[in-house]
Structure 1
Amino acid sequence: MNGTTIARVAAGALALSMLAACASERGGSVAVPGVGDGGAATPAAASGDGQEMFGTLPSPCGKGDAKGATDQGVTDTSIAIGFGDDRGFPRAPGLSKEMGDAVSTMIKWCNAQGGINGRQIVGHQYDAAYMQSVTVMQKACKQDFMLVGQGFAMDEAAEQYRVGCTLPTVAGYTVGSNASMGPMKFEAVPYPVDYFNAAVQKLAAEKFPEFREKVDLVTSTSPAVMAGSNKIKDALKILGVKTMDCGVQLNNDGDPSYVPFAEKFKACGVKALWTSKSPDPAGFSLLEALDRVGAHPTLVFESTWYSPAVAKWNTGGQGDNLHVGLFFQPFENADKVPAVKKYLDLVNAGGGKVAMLGMQATSAFLLWATAAKECGSDLTRQCMVNKLSQVHEWTGGGLHAPTDPGANMPTDCTLMMKLTGSTFEQVVPANVGEFACDASNVLTTDPSTWGTTLNEDRIATTFLSPSVIKPQS
């Protein structure tokens, strides 16, 4: 998903615009021959020595003799976790459904192997329906050991309750500044507010001279898009790229014609464009208008443009100059990346929805399960916080580029996809399945954009109290 961090005031709006687009990413099931039907998950593939695997990751699930009612939600035989999404939001039915589908699938997959050290996982699935995150969090506080792989667009509203009841989480994603930097919070793919992975922008500046010399941003009146655009503009400035500032701003509620905008970009001399907007009719109309006026800039757009809706739209070729940067392996690489194929096989076997956010939730579950296995019979929230804080390289078995969950640091990698007709293909790096990585890709952000105050441990101070669980060495 997007690496753009935003001010707290725009968090909810950005989540809606991002997730409404992502809700349709690779939507529906992709037929996989030989996969069982019904709701049961297919067992993991085994390595040569019989060890079950998820991509390159040995399965953390299996039989065992762990015992003890060691914490809330933990018994001799079971572990209760909460998970979920916003699928019931009336304005965007199915919003981030792929996340709940992924965790539900992984629970079945894990329990079929014997659970975690013999304890079966009991999943409490929540639907925050965008506006009900507080209600969901209050329920989770009363019954769950941890939250795992969830994605709630309005997590900022619920954060004080999560922290107040000392409920740790390995989130699928976070949106709000306090949620993304909160105590007892870990993510398989962190997006902290104080660091930004500019790998996509840096790669574009290196690959396309026009992006370095003649680029501008497609913005809109949406506060969320403007916040994201300002972050990108600051990153480009650090990279030595000055945007042309042609003065084009789309109306978030739509415009009667996009030809005047296209003509303005052409007259300004733009040769490359970036947008933090998600794909929508306005975005498509602008690209069609650019083609109509004879302007064909190189397009490097936000990762939400890696979408079947975009591929389906591009029958006329107006998007053939479109490039997107990803931190996850694309589904086109499934034949090269076992973890992607495993994700597709498992979710499709249960009739779930596959999408990038689903892989993100899957990685979160695997991270949680790996730490839970290491805790053994001593399965307490304190042990989980200890173990998770020590994980400093994580790929979800190969689902995504390496991240540092323990330090809440983003990846410094990307790969670039190009759209031609209705087909996306990896163009950078040349070797399919690889990422382009460089520590210098991670930039320090301006504290004025954080939306919260961080302490010396880079933890949001808004809801901190002496009762929060801190890592112990």
Structure 2
Amino acid sequence: MTILVVVLALLATACTRSSGETETGAAETTAASGEGTDGGGGGSGDFGDLTEVCGPGDASGATAQGVTDDSIQVGTISDPGFVGRQGLNQELFDASEVFVEWCNEAGGINGREIVDVQRDAKLTEYKQRITEACQEDFMLVGGGGVFDDTGQDERLGCLLPEIPAYQVSAEARESELAVRPLPTALDELPIGAMQYLQEEFPDSTDAVGFITGNVASTITVDAQLQEAADELGWEKAYEAQYNSVGEASWTPFAQAMQSAGVKGLVYTGEPENLAKLLQAVADIGYDLEWTLTGGNALDQRYIEVGGAAVDGTYVYSAVVPPFLAEENPATQQYLDLFDEYLPDGKAEALLGFNSFSSWLLFATAVKECGSEVTRSCVFDAASGITEWTGGGLHAPSNPSEAETPRCGLVVEATADGFVVPEGFEATDGVFRCDEESVLALDGDYGEGATLDSVGKSIDDLE
């Protein structure tokens, strides 16, 4: 579930949102390196089951901001410069760089080279980066910011469309003028992993604990999970919030869960903190039957920190994880492109796959527009796509309707690595697809930013 991947607002240091003056960030530009290319397309522009995503052509004309005869400038936002966690979500920049290098070597999009400006929001400067992108970029593609609620009015005010890798806040998750390859609707929740746990551990759901960080985005997700648990008939035995700055000791949480008789834990937050919590649980000699957390734990670092204590951690993913690359050609191609263009990049981080899917969607829409690349044409083309898998990187989604994917798979963490657990029954390739795996929520979890709120309408988009 994508929104749980992005609850990296639970970070290892405190922070405040900046609402002051614009501060210029260190933007970094990626275009073709020129090495090994002839300007006419030096390689295949096919990806997964998508054909000729990129390639040569005769597109021309300065048809919109950021578009020239020869190039299209777009922006990508991420937070790797955040001082409290250097490299935070660097995979968004890495996946974008790999896509741009690969696409440009294949000939660009209809012959136009992509120029990607990496805009580092450093966690607290999202609004400033949006303001800069408004002045220069054609669109935003393949990125996301933890504090994305701070710039939605500015983005809509300058009519800057976005195809994000992820979004966190309610304001962003259902904002207008955005097309999402993997939507995370506010009124729906994928519950495939919860259904799996209920089937595999039927005697454990009468004593469930809930722990989340003390920031708004994760508190919202925790509330959604608790609503789903209640709908499934689970009984809550314990709930707590931890300090997102970090806890000096996780033992009090472990002891409290032991006292409450918690059998299974639903955790929303940063995975290294979870690993430390589970170590504390093991240290007092207590055993949980299972732990459910978000896809951001699909990272070898989680296992390195937690060791054997992470056994029995389950996550739900709509993205084919890297350890299944041999079974999924698109995943293998993605990893191969990293080997070719950015061998030291964060190739196996889940958000990178989301980013690459965003770029593929962008390129598909731009190609459809031919020479007349305008924001309205590209946005209309992208938002008209009703079935999307990123070439096979992830489960089918419906960007047009912003529906939560109906397919996913359960992954289990062990001390030796990640596996698909016994008992998980796939119906379509590696995924299990079921309308019943997505729950309609009744709670009020906020609403998205609108064009009307900033005095604009979709008719203003050119």
TM-score after normalising by structure 1:
0.83
Which stretch of structure 1 is more off in the superposition, 264-273 or 234-243? 264-273
| 2-structure distance, mates of 1:116, 1:300 | 41
| 1-structure distance, mates of 2:302, 2:36 | 31
Whichever residue aligns with residue 60 of structure 2, its letter is: K
Aligned-pair CA distance for 1:387: 1.0
Aligned-pair CA distance for 1:303: 2.0
1:60 corresponds to which of 53, 62, 65: 53
Indicate whether 1:410 and 2:407 are aligned.
no
Aligned-pair CA distance for 1:431: 8.4
Per-residue Cα deviation, 1:303-327 (whole angstroms, up to 9, x for no partner)? 2222212211344x22222222111
Whichever residue aligns with residue 426 of structure 1, its letter is: V
Whichever residue aligns with residue 379 of structure 1, its letter is: V
Q: For 1:88-103, what aligned pairs fall within 5 Å after superposition?
A: 88-103=81-96
Task: Mark the CA change 1:285 to 1:376 in structure 2 (over 3 Å): closer, same or farther.
Answer: same
Which stretch of structure 1 is more off in the superposition, 377-386 or 347-356? 347-356
Per-residue Cα deviation, 1:1-57 (whole angstroms, up to 9, x for no partner)? 64359xxxxx9xx4422799xxxxxxxxxxxxxxxxx978999xxxxxx97421222
Which stretch of structure 1 is more off in the superposition, 198-207 or 117-126? 198-207
Aligned-pair CA distance for 1:162: 1.0
Matched residue, 2:313: 322
Matched residue, 1:400: 394
Whichever residue aligns with residue 183 of structure 1, its letter is: E
TM-score after normalising by structure 2:
0.85
Q: For 1:154-193, what aligned pairs fall within 5 Å after superposition?
A: 154-193=147-186
Runs of at least 5 residues in structure 2 that lack an aligned partner in the other structure: 14-31, 38-42
Q: For 1:423-434, what aligned pairs fall within 5 Å after superposition?
A: 423-427=417-421, 428-429=424-425, 434=430
Given that residues 295 and 350 in structure 2 are in contact (C-alpha distance below 8 angstroms), is that contact kept between their aligned partners in structure 1? no
Given that residues 41 and 105 in structure 1 are in contact (C-alpha distance below 8 angstroms), is that contact kept between their aligned partners in structure 2? no
Given that residues 213 and 243 in structure 2 are in contact (C-alpha distance below 8 angstroms), is that contact kept between their aligned partners in structure 1? yes
Per-residue Cα deviation, 1:48-91 (whole angstroms, up to 9, x for no partner)? xx974212222311111223222222222221111131111111
| 2-structure distance, mates of 1:42, 1:299 | 48
Given that residues 60 and 68 in structure 2 are in contact (C-alpha distance below 8 angstroms), is that contact kept between their aligned partners in structure 1? yes
Name the SS of the counterpart of 2:420 in structure 1. Answer: strand
Q: For 1:39-438, what aligned pairs fall within 5 Å after superposition?
A: 52-219=45-212, 221-244=214-237, 246=238, 250-252=242-244, 257-281=249-273, 283-290=275-282, 292-315=284-307, 317-351=308-342, 352-354=345-347, 355-427=349-421, 428-429=424-425, 434-438=430-434
Whichever residue aligns with residue 123 of structure 1, its letter is: D
Whichever residue aligns with residue 385 of structure 1, its letter is: F
Whichever residue aligns with residue 330 of structure 1, its letter is: P
Percent of aligned pairs sharing the same letter: 32
Task: Mark the CA change 1:78 to 1:223 in structure 2 (over 3 Å): closer, same or farther.
Answer: closer
Whichever residue aligns with residue 46 of structure 2, its letter is: M
| 1-structure distance, mates of 2:176, 2:216 | 28
| 2-structure distance, mates of 1:383, 1:181 | 21
Given that residues 11 and 245 in structure 2 are in contact (C-alpha distance below 8 angstroms), is that contact kept between their aligned partners in structure 1? no
Name the SS of the counterpart of 1:83 in structure 2. Answer: strand
Whichever residue aligns with residue 357 of structure 2, its letter is: S
Task: Mark the CA change 1:201 to 1:181 in structure 2 (over 3 Å): closer, same or farther.
Answer: same
Name the SS of the counterpart of 1:163 in structure 2. Answer: helix
| 2-structure distance, mates of 1:19, 1:358 | 22
| 2-structure distance, mates of 1:388, 1:430 | 29
| 2-structure distance, mates of 1:368, 1:86 | 22
Matched residue, 1:27: none
Which stretch of structure 1 is more off in the superposition, 328-337 or 133-142? 133-142
Indicate whether 1:449 and 2:458 are aligned.
no
| 2-structure distance, mates of 1:41, 1:171 | 29
| 2-structure distance, mates of 1:134, 1:247 | 34
Matched residue, 1:3: 3
Per-residue Cα deviation, 1:341-370 (whole angstroms, up to 9, x for no partner)? 111121232332221111111000000000
Runs of at least 5 residues in structure 1 that lack an aligned partner in the other structure: 6-10, 21-37, 44-49
Task: Mark the CA change 1:41 to 1:155 in structure 2 (over 3 Å): closer, same or farther.
Answer: farther
Aligned-pair CA distance for 1:231: 1.4
Matched residue, 1:28: none
Aligned-pair CA distance for 1:164: 0.9
| 2-structure distance, mates of 1:469, 1:98 | 35
Which stretch of structure 1 is more off in the superposition, 424-433 or 341-350? 424-433
Give the superposed CA RMSD.
Answer: 3.0
Name the SS of the counterpart of 2:73 in structure 1. Answer: strand
Task: Mark the CA change 1:430 to 1:170 in structure 2 (over 3 Å): closer, same or farther.
Answer: closer
Task: Mark the CA change 1:176 to 1:40 in structure 2 (over 3 Å): closer, same or farther.
Answer: farther
| 2-structure distance, mates of 1:249, 1:131 | 22
1:468 corresponds to which of 425, 435, 458: 458
Matched residue, 2:25: none
Which stretch of structure 1 is more off in the superposition, 290-299 or 200-209? 290-299
